[in-house]
Every structure is written in structure tokens, then in C-alpha cells.
Amino acid sequence: MGFAVAPRDVESDEAAGIVVAQNPGRNELVPVGSTVTLSVSEGPSATAVADVTNQEVDTAKTTLKASGFEIKVVFTGTDDPSLDGVVISQDPAGGTGAKPSTVVTLVVGQFLMTTG
């Protein structure tokens, strides 16, 4: 269209790479050869990490993945059968902020049957 384009990275709640504003604005008349500045989202700076402790591991993983986080599962032995497959702790902790694609480590109980 004969315009020069100048992208400018900005913080936004939109996903990275999405144009969130432009200057001059849409439908404004400007001379050919003018520069159009596009404000391009860098992505959210931080997203709240859901507290998934005491949830079944599959439910917890689904919740965190929906917010854009990566998941690492670490199992820890437990003698409490009610904690088998349940998230005992997480890092980063629920309620804190983290960038999307941050790895959230889930410590999941694994019931160890004892004989005796």
C-alpha cells in the first residue's frame, strides 16, 4: 500500500505477536509513504499460577496447560493411600505470577504399600 511499517514491542495481555494498536489509526487518511507504527504484543508479562495442590495430577496438568505453562511431574512416596496421584506441592506456588511457558513442577504422591 506504499506505507513504511515500524513495529514496536509492547507489554500486553494478548498473546505474543498480536498487533494491539496502530498509529495512525484504522481508516485515517495519510499520505503514501507515511510510516505506520504497529504496537506488537510481547505477550503477558506474568500470569497467575493456579493453586493445584490437593488435585488429581491429570486435572492439575490440564488446568496449568490451559494457562500456557509447561509441566514437570515428580513423584514422591507416601504411606497415605488418599494422596496417591494427588498434587502434594508445586513450584512456583499457586497464586504467584509467572510467564507463560514457565515450567511448573508438581510433586505428586505415589502410594507405597508396606507389608508388615
**What's the DSSP call for residue 23?**
E
pLDDT at site 14: 84
Selecting from 3.40.1280.10, 3.30.10.20, 1.10.3720.10, 3.40.50.2300, what CATH number does the domain 47-111 have?
A: 3.30.10.20
The tally of CA atoms less than 13 A away on the side-chain side of residue 93 is: 2
pLDDT tens, residue by residue, 39-91: 999 877 788 999 999 999 999 999 999 999 999 999 999 999 999 999 999 99
Flag whether pLDDT at 115 surpasses 70: no
Global confidence as pTM: 0.66
Flag whether pLDDT at 36 surpasses 80: yes
On the 0-12 / 13-18 / 19+ scale of CB atoms within 10 A, 33 is exposed
The ranges assigned to domains in the chain are 4-41, 47-111
